[in-house]
Amino acid sequence: MIVDVHYHYTRLPADEEAARSSVAGMLIDAERAGIRKSVDEVLPLFRDIMEDVECDKLVQRMDESGVDVTVINLVDNYDWGATNERVMRAHERCANAAAKHPGRLIALAGIEPRRPDAPALFRECIERLGMKGLKWHPDNGFYPNSKEAYEVLQVADELGVPLLTHTGPLPSSRAKYSHPLHLDDIALDFPDMPIIAAHMGDILWRDWAALAKYKRNIFGDLAMWQFLAVNRPAHFRGYLRELLDLVGASQVLFATDGPVFEPHVSTRRFIEIVRRLPEESADGLRFTQQEVDAMLGGNAARIFKL
């Protein structure tokens, strides 16, 4: 089984200038990794991928790539000014897309703790809409271990659903809120809650590993690591081997952060790189088939009760 635990249910802005600006932001990580494409080159690709309200195109790409289950999620940034009603309509669309594809899609709610009535809204997402967890971007401007955040986390803990939360710096966000260290409190105070650190902190992955080594309910996903895998394979293999030696394979999950990077590194290609890790390599690093199977889907199946 292959599970992608991190895929954004999102659309480009209708306004052309805003859409171009959004795509330009998406190109920053690709450029950092040595992949240089223009906005004009990739904008039509993003439009095609993201005009997919019911996720029919996503499921077709999953079939082509060999992905069995994808976890789709919404990002709620309270600073954008959307009302509770508008945010809940977006959650209904996301939940309906997952319901249309049972067994293939799992939907996570993105209710921000700064939003008024956040605990009640999140509870509605789980109990009425059938969503299966919580997705946060603390780098929008809140600490995931704050008082307001804990009020939402208490609902998640009561309902027995996991947290997927962004960790690591991004070009246009506040990295102080998304340091992996803030997950230490959550792991201690909610010991039964699976906490997935998106990107494993990215460049802060050793800080993530320092926590995950001792907090067995802290997990991490490989979203955004596909650029490293493609353009700096020696670094990818070396970092991955080091963190597996520190933490073990049971806390690492496959993820893509789609659809942002699909025009640059296909999901099929990323999966193939991970699948081939056990093969003989000149670098002397060794990966087992058991480790690969756990990362590609075994761990996610356990967390999401597949």
Q: Tell me the three state secondary structure of residue 221.
A: strand
In this model, does residue 269 exceed pLDDT 90? yes
Distance CA 205, CA 148 (A): 26
**Pick from 208, 232, 217: which is nearest to 186 by CA?**
217
pLDDT tens digit sequence for 106-146: 999 999 999 999 999 999 999 999 999 999 999 999 999 99
If pLDDT is split at 50, 70 and 90, which confidence band does 186 have?
very high
CATH number for 257: 3.20.20.140
pTM of the full structure:
0.95
Residue 79 in tokens: 């600073």
Task: Provide the pLDDT for residue 1.
Answer: 96
Task: Provide the pLDDT for residue 38.
Answer: 86
**Pick from 50, 35, 41: which is nearest to 265 by CA?**
35
Distance CA 3, CA 13 (A): 28
Structurally, the chain folds into a number of domains equal to: 1
Residue 145 in tokens: 């271990």
If pLDDT is split at 50, 70 and 90, which confidence band does 46 have?
confident
Number of other residues whose CB lies within 10 A of the CB of residue 245: 10
Task: Provide the pLDDT for residue 28.
Answer: 77
Of 20-29, 104-113, 232-241, least confident by mean pLDDT is 20-29
Task: Provide the pLDDT for residue 137.
Answer: 97
Q: What are phi and psi of 28, to 5 degrees?
A: -60, -45
Q: Show the DSSP H helices in the chain as ranges.
A: 16-32, 39-50, 56-65, 84-100, 118-127, 147-159, 183-189, 205-212, 226-231, 233-247, 267-275, 289-293, 299-303
Task: Provide the pLDDT for residue 274.
Answer: 98
Residue with tokens 């993820």: 255
If pLDDT is split at 50, 70 and 90, which confidence band does 34 have?
confident
Q: What are phi and psi of 107, to 5 degrees?
A: -105, 135
Q: Which domain holds residue 46?
A: 3-303
If pLDDT is split at 50, 70 and 90, which confidence band does 14 have?
confident
Q: Which amino acid is at 48?
A: D
Q: Show the DSSP H helices in 13-117 as ranges.
A: 16-32, 39-50, 56-65, 84-100
What's the rounded mean pLDDT across residues 45-50? 88
pLDDT tens digit sequence for 204-222: 999 999 999 999 999 999 9
Task: Provide the pLDDT for residue 29.
Answer: 74
